[in-house]
Amino acid sequence: MSDDIRLMRVYDAKGDGAPTEGKVFLVDRLWPRGVRKEELHLDGWLKDAAPSPELRAWFGHDPDKWREFSARYERELEGRPEAVDPVLSALDEGPVTLLYAAKDSEHTHALVLRDFVRSRRGREG
């Protein structure tokens, strides 16, 4: 299950031949700057699976807030588990790629989202 969900910066997935796997979902609430919609080959844009605007603003990509951000974001996801249903369904067919725009790949909400989906899948599977 370790390779079931791949994370990738949206800027690395632009254009033809991008190294995405399986179904591809954008998991940011805002459309990424400088990316045209036709540059991405998406199976869905999961705005509701992204952190709330309030949580995103509070975090501000500050690594010192990462642990608290992760806990708060997971609570948000627990409050709207249906937001990840498209990912869970896609995983039944094969691997999934989650795209995010953040520069810091060690402190991105996509990590928390991936782990949340994996834990839900484990409970349902």
The pLDDT of residue 20 is 74
What integer best gives the mean pLDDT of the chain? 91
Neighbour tally for 85: CB within 10 Å: 13
The pLDDT of residue 30 is 95
Domain ranges of the chain: 5-124
Residues lower than pLDDT 50 in the chain: 1-2
Cα 95 to its chain centre, rounded Å, is 14
Distance CA 50, CA 26 (A): 9
Question: In this structure, which amino acid lies at residue 95?
Answer: P
Q: Residues 27, 61, 57, CA angle at the centre, nearest 5°?
A: 80
The pLDDT of residue 17 is 58
> What is the value of pTM for the model shown?
0.90
The pLDDT of residue 1 is 45
